[in-house]
Structure 1
Amino acid sequence: MVAKGLDPVIIVGGGLAGLTAAVRLAEKRIKVKIISLCPTRRSHSACAQGGINAVFDTIHQGDSTYEHFLDTIYGGDYLANQSSVKQMCESAPEIINYMIQMGVAYNRKENGELDLRMFGGGKKNRTVYAGTTTGQQMLHCCDEQVQKWMEQGMIEKYESWEFVSLIKDDNRCNGVVVQNVDTLELKSFRSNAVILATGGAGYIYGKSTNSLINTGAAASSVYQQGVLFANGEFVQIHPTGIQGRDKIHLISEAARGEGGRIWTYKDNKPWYFLEEMYPEYGNLVPRDIAARAIYEVCVKQRLGVDGEKQVYLDLRDVDESILQNRLAGVANTCKNFYSIDPKKEPIKVFPAVHYFMGGLHVDNYHMTNIKGLFSIGECDYMYHGANRLGANSLLAAIYSGFKVAPHVLDYILGMESKDDKLWQRTEHDVITSTKEEYERIKHMNGNESPYKLHQEMGTLMSEYAFIERNNRDLQKADEKLQELQERWDNITINSSGNWGASSILFVRQLRHMMELARVVVISALHRNESRGAHYKPEFPYRDDDKWLKTTLAKWTPQGPKISYQEVDTSFITPGTRSYDTKGR
């Protein structure tokens, strides 16, 4: 029976986290409206290649959900809240079984059991996978379930609509304003519960492994409306990206899990430096460790291939059947975009911005500090601490969608009666301010190109807030970001035709990206230690006495105001994190 008298729950974002939450709410007979910037099947979740972590131990290695939990906390350098991570790891097998029931065809062994591959940061095979298109297959199966509920009138989709603003009174969310990216029509939706599932913000760095829609604009918008942003300094740099002209193509960690090796030349001989530096883990050390090692070899030791910032990822010794079946996506990317046959020649790679461990701050039920606004998936901060293990992203996305649904239901059922006059007033105010902003941008007639400003910001972030940071450069980066914000006011817009519409939307996104870029930089500037993906040579060691805490950024007109929150360490006492001997 459909719950009556309740406004539909608004879910912003059509990736795995958002679709999972939508299906779980529909199963509870709660109506849902999905707002997606692109067709949901084109969401960035489709780009997740390698797999999803869950303990099935079909290879009989003595694996357990507790081992998965330990590896995740250790890999995140003890900054993740342990109770939440433990629950996620314990729920992983149930999630896989749920996805199988939806129709996901994970790879299996000849006896019918799930096949498992190795991924970084662990010593046991626990990554369930569907070739190298795991995310795409899971996304499509979730979308099919959404279609089923759409036919029953439980879910509506609004594709090609962009989130613009929350509608709220005081500290309570009442709905959203969205804009059609083709017609620029504005629309408001009333709801007591809004779930943001809008992914990461890699486009802040210009070129990254992310889709171009990953601007972080929605997260930045609600940050500017009062939501706290947590751990902004922790940005994952993936070790193996192919540097294209306008896009960096990810080469999945699955390639190393299936036997790929990283090397460069030293003294005119191949040097498999990860295997030498980290003999217990070899090419499957966690991503922050591998990325720093490649950076050290290329930048500090100047041993990059052909004298450039690149090393080899070598798949020539990987069996042809594995390349064609289990790594088909990797092989196709190399052949179709770079005319490389990985069976015949090694792939030139270098680390690239990939994932935001930080995100909107949420409680254990995924609610932000604004009542009724929830956040799930990559745009929340909950599960990865200072560094995400490979194949935990799909797990966190789906688990957060699972977890949020019953708590959203509890919240809306416990709401007091609606105040229609208050809604009308707050909606009118937000719509009016949104139209005024649109008109202001539409008639901007300065001499700055928004695309050039974005390029400068990406270069700035890639130079000063990448693998290696120092306080002098971070301070310089913030000063330059403030200069870019001032120059933003002097942008010129070509407002004619369809190009004009896209330019207006991009200018608004750019302003939001600049705000989040300052969160990254200021959060990094304050944290005087090295932990996970945040590395400062001037403070080379982890300092738990001072920095075992979550960074909280609050928006102010002058810039982010930083405070801190204690980390839940209720199960494991933080210890030394090292992968150069036996590791954990």
Structure 2
Amino acid sequence: MAAAARFTVVGGGLAGLMTTIKLAEAGHQVDVLSVVPVKRSHSVCAQGGINGAVNTKGEGDHPDIHVMDTLRGGDFLAEQVSVKGMCYAAPGVIYMLDRMGVTFNRTSEGLLDFRRFGGTLHHRTAFAGATTGQQLLYALDEQVRRYEAEGKVTKYEFWEWLGTVKDESGRCIGSVALDLRTMEIRTFPAEAVCLATGGPGIVFGRSTNSIINTGTAAGRAYLEGAIYANGEFIQVHPTSIPGEDKLRLMSESVRGEGGRVWVPRKKADPRSPKDIPESERWYFLEEKYPKYKNLVPRDVATREIFTVCRDLGLGIGGRDGVYLDVTHIPAKTLDAKIKGVMEIYEKFVGDDPRNTPMVIFPGMHYSMGGLYVSFEADPRTLTPAEGSPKNQATNIPGLYAAGEADYAFHGANRLGANSLLSCIYSGMIGGPAMAAYAKNNAQSAAAKSDKYFNDAKKYWDERFADLKKMSGPENPYQIAKELGDVMTENCTVVRYNDRLKKTIEKVRELKDRWKNVNVLDTGNVANRSLSYTNQVWNMLELGEVIATSALLRDESRGAHYKPDFSLPEPKTKDPREDAGWMELWKKRHEKWAKTTMAKHAPEGPQISYEDVPTPVLAPEPRWYA
């Protein structure tokens, strides 16, 4: 095989762009497929910041503490080797981004400024106001454009990835994709393919995700044999605002800069929040968690807000909603630190949060689960071995995954501001892994018979021709809405087995109804409903994986909360001082400290469990009092 090989990266967000950069800087050709212009990838929506234990504030922070916070926050289900590699790389990643021109906030001394985020006691989150994702995405895109100018990178914007091309051994040797404007279907030969396609937020209907985040690529990879891991772990962000089309995120940076969560102590208090005196406000997170206060991990904050509104009936006006209050912070400070969030709230709600407390409620936000990927540990450092072809590799040879599309970095619950870091880090190690994989292959994908590509294209040509003929009574958008409603109701904050069983039954009913959909549009140009009808099937498959995985995991861990299988309250403030409680925790942990592995089968997901290696940190119970 020649020194320069051709690769495909699917997704133009932070994970996809960093993977592309690493491949291009090694001299390879890269095709980047994206359903939207690269600069509109969902990474652009990230607000709060990116984590790294740089310790400019002299708090004694260190990458080892970052590792511990991440593993504890994820309730010890994260892949420890990858987490350690990520946390140790983090300071260098932040300084690299600074050199690329990211407009990070700085202190009066000119140092990078850092804010606190949930699940840590240190100022560890570098930020560019409240538009950090946009600034990072634009900086990486500038670097990719250098390689575009050199002819090493070709962007295919408004192209949707449909599936893999495999040879006789099952090796991925390319992709099939759809031009969303002309509806042309074509193949893209590649030595390796990386899916960096984000999360499955639209499986839940309305979420804080962009409406492009249907999870269709991961769903199709699962259908083609890729393992989908830890699908049950879905993060619900504690602070979002509802909208008719989607939820809008109110970043954790608001609480990181001093925002306070409260409700009136009087049920259904009709007064304006400005008229409620301090003594009649219940700052419930600060009262219950005096150490972390408003910056407990997201799963903890979400459940507390949910309990206050649904169980205690203390939501604002007796409805779902609590106050997120920054009115005590000077407007000048808010505009310097989180102006982007202030503007989003003011635009979509109509109130100025500088003067009136925001009303928020939890909303589906992130998937800790995703495509299963492997790593090769360096025995000396217990971090991913540099350049190993095993890093970020799925169980399909030649198919890789990075960013939110993979499962590895967050376990049962993601800590805020670790997502941007994991996207960039997974691309940093995934690109070299793909290059090493290609170098080790005896025969290049380019030398493979045209038959494999022709057969793959024929399959998709025929599938879309059949979709065009679908003229039944069902509407694909209605099916997707019903899927989102049942997933949000039963697979988010609180889960019960009887409801999960009904959810699985509902998903299977929707799958049967999908077979009788009306495609709505048979045109040959920009046919969105045709593309979406295909996507809905992949969404239904992922919905079934998520609900089935949640049903089978009979414990409460991180974002997966089952009251029927929760541990009792410990007798002491710190449960580590309660021997009986610790014994219960150890038994539960030993049984369930496992990765959920889902494989596709016609009769439904086949679930198995794999022990989680713990070479870096021994498990202990999370406790945030």
- In the TM superposition, residue 493 of structure 1 has moved relative to its aligned partner by 2.0
In the other structure, the counterpart of 2:253 is 254
Is the Cα contact below 8 Å between 1:360 and 1:379 reproduced in 2? Answer: yes
Corresponding position: 1:292 with 2:292? no
**TM-score, normalising length from structure 1?**
0.97
Helix, strand or coil: the match of 1:72? helix
1:116-131 alignment, distance < 5 Å: 116-131=114-129
Is the Cα contact below 8 Å between 1:174 and 1:423 reproduced in 2? Answer: no
Helix, strand or coil: the match of 2:527? helix
CA distance in 1, matches of 2:196, 2:257: 31
CA distance in 2, matches of 1:373, 1:15: 18
In the other structure, the counterpart of 1:381 is 407
Match among 161, 167, 175 for residue 163 of structure 1: 161
Corresponding position: 1:562 with 2:562? no
Match among 14, 26, 31 for residue 28 of structure 1: 26
Residue-by-residue CA offset, 1:267-305 (whole Å, 9 max, x unaligned): 362111111111111110000000000011111111110
In the other structure, the counterpart of 1:263 is 262
Helix, strand or coil: the match of 2:507? helix
CA distance in 2, matches of 1:421, 1:275: 63
Q: Aligned-residue CA RMSD in angstroms?
A: 1.3
Match among 90, 93, 99 for residue 91 of structure 2: 93
**CA separation of 1:151/1:127 partners in 2, compared to 1, >3 Å: closer, same or farther?**
same
Match among 596, 607, 613 for residue 551 of structure 1: 596
CA distance in 2, matches of 1:238, 1:123: 20
Corresponding position: 1:444 with 2:479? no
Helix, strand or coil: the match of 2:366? strand
Corresponding position: 1:54 with 2:99? no
Q: Which amino acid aligns with 2:342?
A: A
In the other structure, the counterpart of 1:283 is 294
- In the TM superposition, residue 494 of structure 1 has moved relative to its aligned partner by 2.1
Corresponding position: 1:192 with 2:191? yes
Helix, strand or coil: the match of 1:326? helix
Helix, strand or coil: the match of 2:237? strand
Q: Which amino acid aligns with 1:209?
A: T
Residue-by-residue CA offset, 1:497-530 (whole Å, 9 max, x unaligned): 5897100001011110000000100000110100
- Structure 2 residue runs of 5 or longer lacking an equivalent are 270-279, 376-390, 568-584
Helix, strand or coil: the match of 2:165? strand
CA distance in 1, matches of 2:512, 2:125: 47
**CA separation of 1:322/1:434 partners in 2, compared to 1, >3 Å: closer, same or farther?**
same
**CA separation of 1:419/1:534 partners in 2, compared to 1, >3 Å: closer, same or farther?**
closer
Match among 147, 150, 153 for residue 151 of structure 2: 153
Helix, strand or coil: the match of 2:89? helix
Residue-by-residue CA offset, 1:457-504 (whole Å, 9 max, x unaligned): 111001111100011111110001000000001111222558971000
CA distance in 2, matches of 1:453, 1:496: 19
Is the Cα contact below 8 Å between 2:468 and 2:522 reproduced in 1? Answer: no
In the other structure, the counterpart of 1:235 is 234
In the other structure, the counterpart of 2:312 is 301
- In the TM superposition, residue 424 of structure 1 has moved relative to its aligned partner by 1.7
CA distance in 1, matches of 2:502, 2:430: 40
CA distance in 2, matches of 1:5, 1:254: 45
Is the Cα contact below 8 Å between 1:80 and 1:568 reproduced in 2? Answer: no
Q: Which amino acid aligns with 2:503?
A: A
- In the TM superposition, residue 171 of structure 1 has moved relative to its aligned partner by 2.5
- In the TM superposition, residue 48 of structure 1 has moved relative to its aligned partner by 0.5
CA distance in 2, matches of 1:418, 1:134: 39
Residue-by-residue CA offset, 1:374-417 (whole Å, 9 max, x unaligned): 10000000100000000000000000010112211111111112
Helix, strand or coil: the match of 1:367? coil
Q: Which amino acid aligns with 1:568?
A: P
**CA separation of 1:187/1:500 partners in 2, compared to 1, >3 Å: closer, same or farther?**
closer
Helix, strand or coil: the match of 2:610? strand
Helix, strand or coil: the match of 1:164? strand
CA distance in 2, matches of 1:576, 1:54: 24
CA distance in 1, matches of 2:246, 2:524: 24
Match among 481, 495, 512 for residue 486 of structure 1: 512
Corresponding position: 1:416 with 2:427? no
Helix, strand or coil: the match of 2:597? strand
CA distance in 2, matches of 1:212, 1:52: 23
Helix, strand or coil: the match of 1:327? helix
- In the TM superposition, residue 334 of structure 1 has moved relative to its aligned partner by 1.2
In the other structure, the counterpart of 2:385 is none
**CA separation of 1:319/1:84 partners in 2, compared to 1, >3 Å: closer, same or farther?**
same
Match among 411, 422, 427 for residue 396 of structure 1: 422
In the other structure, the counterpart of 1:72 is 70
CA distance in 1, matches of 2:521, 2:535: 16
- In the TM superposition, residue 323 of structure 1 has moved relative to its aligned partner by 1.4
- In the TM superposition, residue 312 of structure 1 has moved relative to its aligned partner by 0.7
In the other structure, the counterpart of 1:183 is 182
- Structure 1 residue runs of 5 or longer lacking an equivalent are none
**CA separation of 1:100/1:306 partners in 2, compared to 1, >3 Å: closer, same or farther?**
same
In the other structure, the counterpart of 2:378 is none
CA distance in 2, matches of 1:80, 1:188: 35
- In the TM superposition, residue 7 of structure 1 has moved relative to its aligned partner by 3.9
Helix, strand or coil: the match of 1:354? strand
In the other structure, the counterpart of 2:42 is 44
Helix, strand or coil: the match of 2:604? coil
Q: Which amino acid aligns with 1:108?
A: R
- Name the stretch that deviates more: 322-331 or 205-214: 322-331
Q: Which amino acid aligns with 2:513?
A: R
CA distance in 1, matches of 2:237, 2:449: 45
Helix, strand or coil: the match of 2:57? coil
Residue-by-residue CA offset, 1:288-331 (whole Å, 9 max, x unaligned): 00000001111111111011111111110112112112111111
CA distance in 2, matches of 1:571, 1:74: 12
- In the TM superposition, residue 81 of structure 1 has moved relative to its aligned partner by 1.7
Match among 453, 460, 463 for residue 427 of structure 1: 453
CA distance in 2, matches of 1:328, 1:184: 40
Residue-by-residue CA offset, 1:306-363 (whole Å, 9 max, x unaligned): 1111111111011211211211111100111111100111111110000000000000
1:219-230 alignment, distance < 5 Å: 219-230=218-229
CA distance in 1, matches of 2:240, 2:42: 16
Is the Cα contact below 8 Å between 1:493 and 1:500 reproduced in 2? Answer: no
Corresponding position: 1:356 with 2:355? no
CA distance in 2, matches of 1:99, 1:353: 29
- In the TM superposition, residue 433 of structure 1 has moved relative to its aligned partner by 1.2
**CA separation of 1:547/1:179 partners in 2, compared to 1, >3 Å: closer, same or farther?**
same
Is the Cα contact below 8 Å between 1:7 and 1:190 reproduced in 2? Answer: no
CA distance in 1, matches of 2:526, 2:17: 31
